[in-house]
Structure 1
Amino acid sequence: MCAFCYLPHVYRGISSECRETCELLEYKSFLEMSAKSFSAVTVAAVLIFFLKIQLSEQAPVNGSKWSYIGPDGEKAWPKKYPFCGGVFQSPIDFHKDILQYDSNLLPLEFIGYNVSSTDHFTLTNNGHSVKMYLSPTMSIRNLPFEYTASQLHLHWGNRNKSEGSEHTVGGKHFAAELHIVHYNSEKYPDVTAAMDKEDGLAVLAVLLEIGPFNPSYEKIFRHFRNVKYKDQKVQVPGFNVRELLPARLDEFYRYEGSLTTPPCYPSVLWTVFRHPVTISQEQLLALETAMYCTESDDPEPLEMVDNFRNVQEFHERLVFISFREGFVVSAVIACILAVLTILAVALWLLKKRSCKKEGQDNRGVIYKPGTYKEEEDLSKM
């Protein structure tokens, strides 16, 4: 190697052979530096690309990049969030062709659902729904894992068409639907880490229909005026969250599905209770009219209505049920037959008693032949 190769500014006066050696070494050094620069740029570009994907997937959870109507509505979801166009999506319609009774399904065990009024939940408007963050001491068992509560939220229609449930039964919509979201706390540290895992989430769904006033739901509904606009928050005193569930917790639908909002991860073990819970017409109207998707200073406020996803294709899944389908109908028919039988027996006994009484009354009547009068008439002749 030439002694002047690392001093290119002084090798003009050296031999041509030494100069060629130096030039070759310079060219080699240039190529190595170019390769290193290209590699660094490529790695940086790849990192930026995946970072953008990650941010785009996380953004909708905070409620800013999608909607239920307009150009960012449900039909456009799969373009930005591929899982929304995939399989195992929710919600679905429960109809008899896909239902299968499973005697191994156990009623859920609720831990810590009765929260003291000295503790508080945070209720917020996230631009898509009204959401209430729950206590980490709340959990459910009798599932493949123990799941810790994260939040609850609602889906509803509008004042002109109160058919806002996401799941349907035999094609029938209910007025609204409550979801209580839990994450697999045996495997994951929080709901964010669990959200995109196939065994990450367990969601309880309660179908709501119009009926008597519900004081338990009013513990949430009375605070709607404080979360009228997006990003507003209010503290709600603790209460027994189990009161939001139906009385019959042993009858439910169970299936594997997805989040019903972007990014639509297929990570949810659904438990949809069979029996609906009632809220009053006034309570439903408050839900349908109280909130906006937009912030308080938006010049064009957008009402928060029809925030439910349409029913999805089932893709040959099965829904397991904890009750025998048709049991209620059979029970009703049996009751009707029993009542008719009792009525028939009662009528027969009443008729028999009436005939017996009539026979007893006739025993006191003596029938005498009419010969005496005839003999008297003959003697007068």
Structure 2
Amino acid sequence: MARLALLGAALLCALAVSTQGSPEGHGTKTEMMGAGRLLQQGPHTNSDPPYNYNCHGFDWAASSSSAEITELCDSPASSFPVADCDGDMQSPINIVTSELADPTDRSGVSGINLRGMGSSDFVLRSNVKVNIEQDMKISWDAPTSGNLPTIMIDGTEQRFQPIQLHFHHFASEHTINGQLYPLEAHLVMASLDDPNQLAVIGTMYKYGNGDDFLARLFGKVEDALEERDDVSYGSKEVPIDMEISPKDHVLPQSSLEYAGYDGSLTTPPCSEVVKWHVFTSPRTISIDQLKTFERVSFNAHPNEAIPTNNRVIQPLGTRAVYRYEATAMDDSGDGTGNADELSSPTTVTATYDIMVSGTASSLADMFNNGARLDNGGFGPDDQAEADLLRQIQRRARANSGAEGAEVVRMMKFTAALGRRRLNQQGAAAEMDIRYYFEGSTDQEEATSAVNGMNPSSLGSSSSGLTDVQQTEVTSSASSLRAGLGLVVAAFFGAALAL
């Protein structure tokens, strides 16, 4: 009876915070990178195994087929019991901050090192798609190399690729000191070193100012609904022109303290393969933004939506939950990273057509005259140009996944040279960036990583670097080409000065 009372209380709580239901968005790596599950009251027949949110997960476990639960849930629990949902390491949990353990006491597992993903310059933008469904799952082409997050597990440093982001709303899944939040975001990551290992970053939202990233997301969804005949509520994997910076758009903007523990997927099959990292400082969301999730849910499935898409809190059992503070790449670096430490790096050089004015134009002139960050070519009055060069290299490194990136050529042209014409926005120019990958990265993979970038991510309109377009990618042999480019640049620079 105690369990039944708890179930009733949980359902009343879910009803109090109001509206919708649907899929969690977790699953096997293949499932997570594919289509989302439908929102419906009946079992999720396109998931394996099928399930629903009628009882917020009470009826998923094989041991939950009691007559009381079957009657209260108004559905036969025997239609989707899952043995793994009875495990001893289930998620979500209640996190009690005063009881968090010292991470040095944790055996075999470290906290997460965000590395490049902790930089504003790490942006996910390739092939971004959104499900116009209740969980608003966003997916992209997952990066496979470079400065990815790492977790030490059983003596091996595993690299994790972020693969999708989704939301639980009107009731968070985890609670902190017993408190439910109106929204919880899950950034799901898959290990590149163990196909059965996942990691999830959880971020809470409290009521307050609207979230800029969510505002842009909702705007892209509305544009797609209005402008495309093949898009409607309920559409999945709808392409959108959207950039996701985990640091700026998902992580808390204040403290990076988080609770780490070993847990599970929060939907069937409830596999206990997740390293959880739940941040204890929330972001904010407005009431109107929260209502957007409601509108999407009910419009996608007007006759089938049920309250919330959260699983009830699971017993902690004998597990410990540990206190961490996230570590990340220092944004102050120049982007060249640890390229000098690589004994035999795989290198790729990309050529970009650019327009330069203001600071970017000055940087191109200084670059042609031999100024570099490591040779004292930038004086006290040239900090704006030096900062722009560092920014370009940091962004190139973060967005390509390379270990390092270096601008090796920047040359302006005139209309007489037959290149891009001069216009009011500035002068036409070219820029070469050399990308350094670990030697274990083959040439094809490195080239694909560079080609997968959005060139516009290198630009800075405030500094006069605009209209960035990639025109060529070459392999390690490009070092000779770059050197010849500097000679040509010097020649034309002298000629134009006459």
Say whether the fold is shared (TM-score over 0.5).
yes
Q: Aligned residue for 2:73?
A: none
After TM superposition, give the deviation of residue 233 of structure 1 in Å: 3.5
Do the aligned partners of 1:107 and 1:250 also contact (CA within 8 Å) in 2? no
Q: How does 1:1-381 map to 2 (within 5 A)?
A: 62-63=37-38, 64=44, 65-69=50-54, 74-79=57-62, 80-96=81-97, 98-102=99-103, 105=111, 107-111=113-117, 114-115=122-123, 119-125=126-132, 129-137=135-143, 139-144=148-153, 145-157=158-170, 164-188=171-195, 194=196, 200-225=197-222, 226=225, 229-239=233-243, 240-244=245-249, 245-248=251-254, 250-292=256-298, 301-303=303-305, 305-322=307-324
- CA change 1:60–1:212 in 2 (3 A) is closer
Gaps of 5+ in 1: 1-53, 158-163, 189-193, 195-199, 324-381
Q: Per residue, is there more helix in 1 or in 2? A: 1
Q: How many residues align?
A: 244
Label 1:97 to 1:209 Cα distance change in 2 as closer, same or farther (>3 A): closer
Letter in 1 for 2:142: P
Over the aligned positions, Cα root-mean-square deviation in angstroms equals 3.1
In 2, the alpha carbon distance for the partners of 1:186 and 1:293 equals 40
Higher gyration radius (CA): 1
Change (3 A) 1:60 1:214: closer
Residues 93 and 170, structure 1, Cα contact 8 Å, conserved in 2: yes
**CA offsets 1:19-56 (integer angstroms, 9 cap, x no match):** xxxxxxxxxxxxxxxxxxxxxxxxxxxxxxxxxxx9xx
**Partner amino acid, structure 2, of 1:222:** G
CA displacement at 1:110 relative to structure 2: 3.5
What amino acid maps onto 1:77 in structure 2?
W
Deviation at 1:140, TM superposition (A): 1.7
Q: Take 1:291 and 1:272, find their aligned partners in 2: how far apart are those partners?
A: 25
Deviation at 1:304, TM superposition (A): 5.8
- Which residue of 2 is the match for residue 160 of structure 1? none
2:175–2:181 contact (8 Å) kept in structure 1: yes
The structural deviation recorded for 1:76 is 2.0
Conserved? CA contact 2:36–2:236, under 8 Å:
no
Q: TM-score, length-normalised on structure 2?
A: 0.44
* % identical equivalent positions: 25
Q: Partner amino acid for 2:57?
A: E
Cα distance, 1:60 vs structure 2: 11
Provide, for residues 40-93 of structure 1, a one-character-per-residue CA deviation record: whole Å limited to 9, x for no partner.
xxxxxxxxxxxxxx9xx99997452211116xx522211321111221000000
Residue 279 of structure 1 and its aligned partner are, at CA, apart by 1.5
Partners of 1:75 and 1:154 in 2: how far apart? Answer: 20
List gaps (5 residues or longer) in structure 2: 1-27, 39-43, 45-49, 63-80, 105-109, 226-230, 326-498
Deviations 1:193-241 (A, max 9, x none): x3xxxxx100000001111122122222334554764443321223123
